């Protein structure tokens, strides 16, 4: 995988890669492989890497289902020291701040629980930073996670 | 890839990765189960919200007729996801072998 050398931030150098993925659930295995390969240089804790993969899946499937955008979704990965930042870039969609989605009601009894609505709830609990921006028709959803 | 098979004790063994691409396949398999369903998750490495939704749907259906889904042998990272989803309050979770 070609890795673009980035600038130095303090003592830590940032490496970056970017790849576009079709708006289809079928690309998930390739997306996971892309993240795993890039993260491997940081020798990630397996649970931390799982958290990143889960966040990527939830945010990607959310964009595919709801943002109404066109064209590919880009995944930007940045690795600085032991931290991985992932940004999903969608174009021509509607603004929808996923960070403002309320938590799921996980306290409800079984007969009142319904499948669905857990994705963003999980992301919020499994990453260290979670941000959203929308400018000029482009959404940028970013998560950051320490891999150690 | 998610593999679903019946184990030698009648339990259903899920192995691999339960992501959005596997939800339809898993839902079809679990919709055939009746009564009390034991899911052995020792080789399940990953589950996302769509996978959780499939488990919840099966558990609600079976519980309505007096059965339910029992989860066994969860890896710590799978247990964390289930706990964040509140599933530890909804499902019977067994640490070791069923007696």
Find out whether B60 and B54 touch, Cβ atoms under 8 Å: no
Residues of chain B whose beta carbon is less than 8 angstroms from a beta carbon of chain A are 1, 17, 19-21, 45-46, 48-50, 52-54, 56-57, 59-60, 63, 76-77, 80-81, 84-86, 89-90
Among A140, A135, A18, residue whose Cα is nearest residue A77 = A18
Check pLDDT > 60 for residue A145: yes
Which residues does chain B have within 8 Å of residue A109's beta carbon, measured at their own beta carbons?
A: 90
Cβ(A21)–Cβ(A76) under 8 Å?
Answer: no
The pLDDT confidence band at residue B98, using thresholds 50, 70 and 90, is low
pLDDT of residue A2: 57
- Enter the pTM of the model: 0.92
Is B76 close to A47, i.e. CB distance below 8 A?
yes
Q: Do A118 and B53 touch (CB under 8 A)?
A: yes
* Nearest CA distance, A36 vs chain B (angstrom): 13
Cβ distance B21 to A25 less than 8 Å, yes or no, reads: yes
Question: How do residues B1-52 score in pLDDT, each as one tens digit?
Answer: 999 999 999 999 999 999 999 999 999 999 999 999 999 999 999 999 999 9
Contact at CB, A119 and B21, closer than 8 angstroms:
no
> Kind and range of the H or E element at A64?
helix A46-66
Given a cut of 90, whether residue A59 has pLDDT beyond it is yes
| Average pLDDT of the residues in B48-77 | 97
> For B49, which residue in chain A has the nearest alpha carbon?
A119
Of A35, A50, A124, A125, which to mutate for an interface test with B (greatest number of B Cβ within 10 Å)? A50
**Are B93 and B74 spatial neighbours (Cβ–Cβ below 8 Å)?**
yes
Polymer length of chain B: 99
Please name the residues in contact with B42: beta carbons below 8 A apart, sequence gap of 6 or more. Answer: B13, B72, B73, B74, B75
Secondary structure in 3-state letters for chain B: CEEEEECCCCCEEEEEEECHHHHHHHHHHHCCCCCEEEEEEEEEEEECHHHHHHHHHHHHHHHCCCCEEEEECCCHHHHHHHHHCCHHHCCEEECCCCC
Q: What are the structural domains of chain A? A: 26-146 (3.30.565.10)
Q: pLDDT (tens digit, 9 = 90+) per residue, A73-107?
A: 999 999 999 999 999 999 988 999 999 999 999 99
- Nearest C-alpha in A relative to B76: A47
């Amino acid at each position: 995988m070609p890795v673009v050398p980035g600038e130095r931030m303090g003592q830590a150098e940032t490496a970056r890669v970017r790849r576009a993925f079709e708006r289809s659930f079928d690309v998930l295995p390739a997306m996971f492989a892309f993240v795993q390969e890039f993260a491997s240089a940081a020798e990630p804790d397996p649970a931390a890497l799982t958290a990143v993969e889960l966040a990527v899946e939830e945010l990607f499937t959310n964009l595919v289902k709801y943002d109404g955008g066109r064209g590919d979704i880009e995944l930007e990965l940045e690795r600085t020291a032991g931290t991985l930042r992932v940004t999903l870039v969608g174009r021509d969609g509607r603004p929808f701040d996923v960070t403002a989605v309320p938590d799921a009601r996980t306290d409800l009894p079984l007969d009142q629980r319904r499948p669905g609505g857990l994705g963003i709830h999980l992301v919020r609990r499994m990453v260290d930073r979670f941000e959203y921006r929308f400018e000029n028709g482009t959404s940028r959803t970013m998560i950051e996670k320490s891999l150690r | 890839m998610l593999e679903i098979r019946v184990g030698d004790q009648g339990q259903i063994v899920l192995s691999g990765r339960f992501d959005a691409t596997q939800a339809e396949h898993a839902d079809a398999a679990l919709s055939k189960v009746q009564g009390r369903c034991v899911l052995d998750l020792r080789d399940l490495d990953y589950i996302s919200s769509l996978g959780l939704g499939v488990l919840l749907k099966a558990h609600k259906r079976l519980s309505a007729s007096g059965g339910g889904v029992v989860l066994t042998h969860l890896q710590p990272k799978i247990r964390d996801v289930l706990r964040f989803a509140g599933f530890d309050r909804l499902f019977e979770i067994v640490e070791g072998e069923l007696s």
